[in-house]
Amino acid sequence: MHAKSLSLLAAILLGSATFGAQAQTADDYISSAVVTDQSPASRDKGLRDSLSIVLTRVGGAKATGAKVALLLARADAFVQQFDYNNNDKGELLIIATFDQPAVDAALKSLGFAVWGINTSPVDDVALSISGITNPRAYARALNYLRALPGMKNVSVLVLAGDVVYLRLRSEGGAARLTGALSVGGVLKRLDKGDTRELAYALQR
C-alpha cells in the first residue's frame, strides 16, 4: 500500500468515531393526533390515530386493511411515551413516540414493506468504490451506504489507493442493492465484467 493510502487510512481511523448515519431517526416514529380531551377513551383513539400515521409513513400506502387494524387495536403496546400540547388552532394534541424496532418487526411479520424494503433474506454483497481520495469522501460513501433501507452492516475490508473494498449485508442481496444504489447520484456503476463484485465510483 502506498504511503498516501497509509496516511489516508490513518486519518480515517482517527476520525471514524465521528462518522455514521442511520437510515431513519427516532423522529420518524413520532406522530400526533387531535383529541377532544385527556380521558382514557380519547387518549386511546388518539394513540390509534397517531400509530396509523406512523405505520403508513414506515410501511407505505399499502400498510392498511384488516391486518393493520389488529396493530392499531393494541396501539398502546407500541407506545414509548406520550404527552399533550396545543396546536396553532388551539386544538388539543396527543403526541406519541412509538418503539421503532417493535413497529418495524410488526409490519414485517404481517408481510408489509418497511421503508420500501420487503422482508427478504439478508445476503452478503461484495462492493468496491473508487474515488476515495480523502477522509471526507470516505465518510460520504460509508454514510450513504449505511443509510440505505434494508442495510444491515457495512464492513470495510481494505483501502487500496483510492478504492475501498467492502462487504455489505443487505436485505434482498445484490439485486435489490443495485436498485437502491441507482438513486441519489452518489455512486456511479462501473462495468468491470465481474458479476461477483459490484463496482462503483463516488460522484463529486
Strands across the sheet with 198-202, in order?
151-160, 163-171, 122-130, 198-202, 187-190
Domain count, the chain: 2
CA distance 91 to 74: 25
35 burial level (CB within 10 Å; 0-12, 13-18, 19+): buried
Q: Is 93 found in the same domain as 157?
A: no
Q: Is 60 found in the same domain as 129?
A: no
Please give the residue that has the higher pLDDT: either 62 or 119: 62
pTM: 0.51
Q: Which of 2-16, 130-144, 182-196 has the lowest mean pLDDT?
A: 2-16
Q: Is 104 found in the same domain as 65?
A: yes
Q: How is 89-149 classified by DSSP, letter by letter?
A: TS-EEEEEEE-HHHHHHHHHHTT--BTTB----EEEEEEEEE---SHHHHHHHHHHHHTST
Q: Is 149 found in the same domain as 81?
A: no
The CATH number of the domain holding residue 185 is 3.30.1360
* 14-68 confidence digits (pLDDT tens): 444 333 334 467 789 999 999 999 999 999 999 999 999 999 999 888 888 888 8
Q: Is 185 found in the same domain as 136?
A: yes
Block residue for cell numbers 387518549: 43
Q: Is 9 found in the same domain as 52?
A: no
Q: Which of 10-19, 101-110, 190-199 has the lowest mean pLDDT?
A: 10-19
Q: Is 167 found in the same domain as 143?
A: yes
* 145-162 confidence digits (pLDDT tens): 998 877 889 999 999 999
pLDDT of residue 120: 63
- What is the rounded average pLDDT of the residues 119-137? 88
Quote the DSSP letter at residue 51. H
Q: Is 11 found in the same domain as 55?
A: no
Q: Is 155 found in the same domain as 170?
A: yes
The residue segments making up the domain with residue 10 are 3-23+118-202
Residue 53, phi then psi, degrees to nearest 5: -65, -45
